[in-house]
Structure 1
Amino acid sequence: MRNRPVIVGVLAAVLGGAAACGDGGAATPTASSPAPSSGQHIAVTSSAFAEGGTIPRRHTCDGADVSPPLAFSGVPAGATSLALLVEDTDAPQGPFTHWLVWDIAPRTTALTAGHAPEGAAQGRNGFRKPGYGGPCPPRGDRPHHYVFTVYAADRRPDLTPATATADGLRRALAGHTLASGTLTGRYGR
């Protein structure tokens, strides 16, 4: 019984720490997912689909397989580089990378459909090809969610196109992310 106050104290600290991690339903950053250090938010939109809407066939493997147009605002003045990561969060084997881009000029406010940002570097997607690879979920699956995340960083990520991965980008941005924002679209076949 003498240890009971210690056990209760440890349990309270653990539960208190777990409760502090909650943020009202927003995704909690993990060790491999950098969190914005300033709490600033980048607004990410597309003229092709709304938040939570269906990604048009043109931007998928069933269409022309071109990247959708994107626009973003709210990039902090101190940003030196932007990065874009597009992932299917419902892929059977875990998140699947559809586009990995970094070294985007920080004053960029829009990306044209079917075009990579000028001067930016692109890594290989989950299809093992450089550049954009559109949504292509297994036939018969419920619609998958495709998350377009834009990061504003205070330095250029130290990555090479041949070896860059989504986790490598997250690690390179950890502690250097000034702001981020997402746009989520859905697609099913």
Structure 2
Amino acid sequence: MRSWVPLLIIALLIGSGCIGGGGEKTTAPKTLEVGSVFHNGSYIPVKFTCDGEDINPPIFIGNISEKAKSLVIIVDDPDAPAGTFTHWIAWNIPPVGEIPEAVPKVGEVEKPIPMVQGRNDFGRIGYGGPCPPRGSVHHYHFKVYALDTTLNIPPGATRKELERAMEGHVIQWGELVGLYKRG
């Protein structure tokens, strides 16, 4: 009768994302320190939005594991009217302490730092700054993941393709949340 108990425990762990089942991104330790020219929970400067230059802010990353082979950045807005809106995805970023401001909006970037970029929900490659409907404050999550590998996916890939490739390779992560509201 009790032989089903271990199976039930394993099923519950898989279902909750604690083991297997693609839950690696959320179960990896949140040990990366992520910062920028704005503080966590504060407003993103207009320069980095659709109302300004629409360039990415610099992203500062600390406490990167020596085991990290590459970094991934995903920027999204969970407050978007139609559901979470992806503003930027980039991968195969060297495990360095800074992603510079104004990364070129091309699939394969050589300078100022090498990386591969995918398609955002504006339908473009590279960073697309905050541009919420007028009136409400939106929260922009700048999530950085350290991976134990580099990824073999092409420039212009989608967020789903990126997340699928990341499965099982995230060793740590961190995030910075910025706010933006249009008048």
Write out per-residue CA displacement over residues 93-152 of structure 1, whole angstroms, 9 at most, x where no aligned residue.
Answer: 11111111001012x101222125522001111111111110000112x21110001111
Structure 1 runs, 4 residues or longer, greater than 6 Å off: none
SS of residue matched to 2:47: helix
Q: Which residue of 1 aligns with 2:115?
A: 120
**Residue 111 of structure 1 corresponds to which residue in structure 2?**
99
CA separation in 2, counterparts of 1:148 and 1:68? 10
CA distance in 2, matches of 1:114, 1:159: 23
Aligned to 1:42: 32
What secondary structure is seen at the aligned counterpart in 2 of 1:41?
Answer: coil
d(CA) in 2 for partners of 1:33 and 1:88?
A: 21
How well do the aligned residues superpose, as a CA RMSD in angstroms?
2.8
- Stretch of structure 1 that moved more, 37-46 or 127-136: 37-46
Change (3 A) 1:36 1:78: farther
In 2, distance between residues paired with 1:114 and 1:120? 13
Which structure 2 residues correspond to residues 16-95 of structure 1 after superposition, within 5 A?
A: 34-35=24-25, 39=29, 41-46=31-36, 48-95=37-84
2:172 alignment partner, SS class: strand
1:142-188 CA-to-partner distances (Å, cap 9, x unmatched) read: 211100011111111221113x1222222111111010000000101
Radius of gyration: which is bigger? 1
Structure-1 separation of matches of 2:177 and 2:24: 18
CA contact (8 A) 2:100 2:113 kept: no
Q: What corresponds to 2:147 in structure 1?
A: 153
CA distance, structure 1, for counterparts of residue 74 and residue 28 of structure 2: 20
Contact between 2:32 and 2:62, CA under 8 Å: does it hold in 1? Answer: yes
After alignment, is 178-187 or 91-100 more displaced?
91-100
Q: 1:32, CA displacement in angstroms?
A: 5.8
Question: Are the counterparts in 1 of residues 99 and 113 from structure 2 also a CA contact under 8 Å?
Answer: no
Quick one: which of 104, 124, 138 aligns to 1:129? 124
Whether 1:179 and 2:172 are equivalent positions in the alignment is yes
Distance 1:147 1:36 in 2: 14
Which runs of no fewer than 5 residues in structure 1 stay unpaired?
1-5, 22-29
Q: Which runs of 5+ in 2 are unaligned?
A: 105-111
User: How many pairs does the alignment contain?
Assistant: 167
8 Å contact kept, 2:119–2:159: no
| Cα pair 2:139 2:177 within 8 Å, conserved | yes
Identity across matched positions, percent: 41
